[in-house]
Structure 1
Amino acid sequence: MKVLIIDDDKLVCSSLKIILDAEPDISVTGIGNDGESAIAMYHSLLPDVLLMDIRMNGISGLEAGEIILKKHTSAKILYLTTFLDDDYIIKALNIGAKGYMLKQNFESIVPSIKAVYAGQNVYGNEIVTKLPKLMTPAKKSHTYLEDGITEKEYSIIIQIAEGLSNKEIAELLFLSEGTVRNYISTILEKLDLRDRTQIAIYYYKNWKD
């Protein structure tokens, strides 16, 4: 697994490289110190996971991530920061980042990178506890039917928002896992979303009573 590290603190970069180089299945493919470097190095190196800070001089990590994801829609970005700002978390979720971790959760960095590489979304405990508040719905302006979502698709969306896995949804709704995956792909396309996390956010913000 190739990991690109972007952080404006060179000591943090060195420490992260030491940690990751100790893992036999991880290779640090490059190190940068600002958003501009993140964009350029991602395009040239195409890492499996981009481990990036948020607050940096010039282009921020969030701005860089948004630019990268517009061109590389399957990019796996894990934010590693000291800031627990609601606006940062919401922005990271909305652009399609795969994770948001606090630097002080030192022991979680390697497992989080591996989880993101495996296709999971990873958020630190501090972020998870904030999600219900951050996803509190505004006054509903439309229904799921107006978004072109069928009743069956809506039932799957509800279970995604409840945190159920594809297997659990399949068992609950008497469907095969393959059918659930197909439904989720259709839902993502209809709503122009990237992943399951964004489906949950969309549900809480737009439809949940």
Structure 2
Amino acid sequence: MIRVLLVDDQHLIRAGLRMLCDAQPDLEVVGEADNGRDAVSLAERLAPDLTVMDLRMPGLDGITATGRILAARPAARVLVLTTFGDDDHLYPALNAGACGFLLKDASPEDLLDGIRRAAAGDSPFSQDVLRRLVRRAMQAPTGEPRTAVALTARERDVLALVAEGLGNTEIGERLHIGVTTVKTHVTSLMTKTASPNRVRLALYAHGA
């Protein structure tokens, strides 16, 4: 069971997220907060597996709250869910320690997939955000050239779509395979390429 803490200053958003999570057999909402200060307190008291964090909130904002949560519990997982996907919000959130960054226009399927992946140690990103991260990383100086690995034809198909920034659900629809099968291929790709998350996997696909 994945224990989730929801943080958003809009009651309607929190209610929708709770309903979405409560309908899943493997997710349990253990707490809610409408501001960063309460989020830090609840995260310390409840020790959730994952905190779903809004960024713009009155009082203590989500970026500062994320930093404080991770300062107190370095192994904590904080997944940003926000309306604002610009660099002024993205990079400070990642610098604060957020493990992923999803936009609120994500489909319910992609949001649930992101929650599960974040709790499992992955780094989920919305498609546009991932593309921007990859572009920025590709502009940076490169290190040693990547090591070629043997991939199956299907793994190459999946890798190409990861490089486009597609989520598991979108990849499954594009390739006409189940989401579970996509996850299996992505896990295999990460293992073969020694990529700790989807950003690094996308960079591998681009030859960075």
TM-score by length of 2: 0.68
Write out aligned runs for 1:29-178 (5 A). Answer: 29-107=30-108, 108-135=110-137, 137=139, 165-169=189-193
Cα distance in structure 1, aligned partners of 2:191 and 2:77: 23
Cα distance in structure 2, aligned partners of 1:15 and 1:90: 27
Structure 1 residue 43 displacement after superposition: 0.2
Cα distance in structure 2, aligned partners of 1:112 and 1:166: 17
Structure 1 residues 70 and 155, CA gap change in structure 2 (3 angstroms): farther
| 1:126-163 deviation line (CA, Å, top 9, x unaligned) | 1112113433656x7xx97xxxxxxxxx5679x9xxx8
Instruction: Tell me the secondary structure at the aligned position of residue 5 of structure 2.
Output: strand
Cα distance in structure 2, aligned partners of 1:83 and 1:41: 24
Cα distance in structure 2, aligned partners of 1:49 and 1:132: 25
Structure 1 residues 120 and 30, CA gap change in structure 2 (3 angstroms): same
Please tell me the residue identity of whatever aligns with 1:61. G
Structure 1 residue 71 displacement after superposition: 1.6
Please tell me the residue identity of whatever aligns with 1:95. A
- Overall identity of the aligned pairs, in %: 30
Please tell me the residue identity of whatever aligns with 1:32. A
What is the Cα-based RMSD across aligned positions, in Å? 3.0
Cα distance in structure 2, aligned partners of 1:80 and 1:127: 12
Instruction: Tell me the secondary structure at the aligned position of residue 81 of structure 2.
Output: strand
Cα distance in structure 2, aligned partners of 1:156 and 1:131: 19
Cα distance in structure 1, aligned partners of 2:129 and 2:54: 16
Instruction: Tell me the secondary structure at the aligned position of residue 4 of structure 2.
Output: strand
Higher Cα radius of gyration: 1
| 1:40-90 deviation line (CA, Å, top 9, x unaligned) | 000000000100101101111011001111121111111101111112111
| 1:175-202 deviation line (CA, Å, top 9, x unaligned) | xxxxx6xxx9xxxxxxxxxxx46x96xx
Structure 1 residues 68 and 99, CA gap change in structure 2 (3 angstroms): same
Determine the structure 1 residue equivalent to 2:8: 7
Cα distance in structure 2, aligned partners of 1:112 and 1:45: 21
Show structure 1 runs of 5+ residues with no match: 145-153, 170-179, 185-195
Structure 1 residue 94 displacement after superposition: 2.0
| 1:11-62 deviation line (CA, Å, top 9, x unaligned) | 1011111111000111100010000011000000000010010110111101
Matched pairs, number: 164
Structure 1 residues 7 and 61, CA gap change in structure 2 (3 angstroms): same
Cα distance in structure 1, aligned partners of 2:136 and 2:84: 16
Q: Determine if contact 2:117/2:123 at 8 Å carries over to the other structure.
A: yes
Structure 1 residue 166 displacement after superposition: 4.9
